Structures are given as C-alpha cells and as structure tokens.
Amino acid sequence: MRLLSLARAAWQAEGLYLRRSGRGYAIQAGLAAAAAIFAVLMLVMLHIAAFAALVPGMGPVWSALIVASADLVLAAILALVARKPPRDVVAEEALALRQAALRQMGDTATQAMILAPLLRSQTLKKGAIGAALTAAVVGFMNRR
C-alpha cells in the first residue's frame, strides 16, 4: 500500500508542476508572439525604406525587383538551412534509455513468469516441468 500512496503523491506532484509551469510557458509564448509581430512590422518598414532609397536612382519597377530578389536569396538560404533535420543528442539518449528500460522490464517479467511455477509447486519435479513449459511459451512469444 505504501508503494501506491507514494505513486499517487508523485502523480499529484507532477500534475501540480505541469499546471504551474504551463501557465508560465503560456505567458512566455504570448510575449514571443508579440515580439514576432513587431519583428515582422520592422521587416516591412525596412523593405519600404530600401524601396524608397532605390527609387530615385533606379525607378520604381527596378527598385521593387531588387528588393524582391534580395528577399528570394534570403528565403533560399533559410530554406536550405531549415532542410537539415536537427540532431538532439539528449533526445536520442533518452530514447535509448527508454528502450533499454522496457527491454529490462520485459526480461524481469519473463524471469518472474519462468520462476513462478517453481515457487508455486509442491514438488521440485512438477515445478521444473512447469518452468520449462513456461519458458518455452515465453520464448515462442518473444520470437513472434
């Protein structure tokens, strides 16, 4: 029973932690969205300023083409950089740790299933036969 109460307390603490930290993340996301809006407005103003600076010497059509070409080059560079998938070493290690833990849990459960007939039986011979049969069934199931 103590194990269950500890698990319940850990579950409740995790829920409280997620609720409290979620509020902070929501505020942070809202502020980041506002900053992104102002960054986009700044880029629009820079485009207008570049266009206005180029108009007297080049004319409105060529000025627009020059600004659009610069945007195209920047977009192509950013797209090439974005194509490469990120490699997160910590996430890969966490995945390997999870897989190892699940494999060990399966091994432990298999061992418990094999030893259970030995512990339950009244005679050693009968328990050994039950353990052998259980091992065969578990081995067959693991191969599938």
Q: What is the pLDDT of residues 43-101, one digit of tens each?
A: 999 999 999 999 998 999 999 999 999 999 999 998 898 888 777 788 788 888 878 87
Q: What is the pLDDT of residues 88-137, one digit of tens each?
A: 788 788 888 878 877 777 767 666 666 666 555 555 555 666 666 666 67
| Helix (H/G/I), strand (E/B), else coil: 88 | coil
pLDDT band at 7 (very low <50, low <70, confident <90, very high): confident
Position 88 scores a pLDDT of 77
Residues with Cβ within 8 Å of residue 27, at least 6 apart in sequence: none
CA distance 105 to 96: 14
Q: Report yes or no: 47 and 67 within 8 Å, Cβ to Cβ.
A: yes
Query: Backbone dihedral region of 17: left (phi > 0), alpha (psi from -120 to 50 degrees) or beta?
Result: alpha
pLDDT band at 141 (very low <50, low <70, confident <90, very high): low
Tokens read off for 62? 């060529």
Within 10 angstroms of residue 114's Cβ, the number of other Cβ atoms is 19
Q: Where are the domains of the chain?
A: 30-84, 88-144
Q: Report yes or no: 44 and 31 within 8 Å, Cβ to Cβ.
A: no
Tokens read off for 49? 């300023």
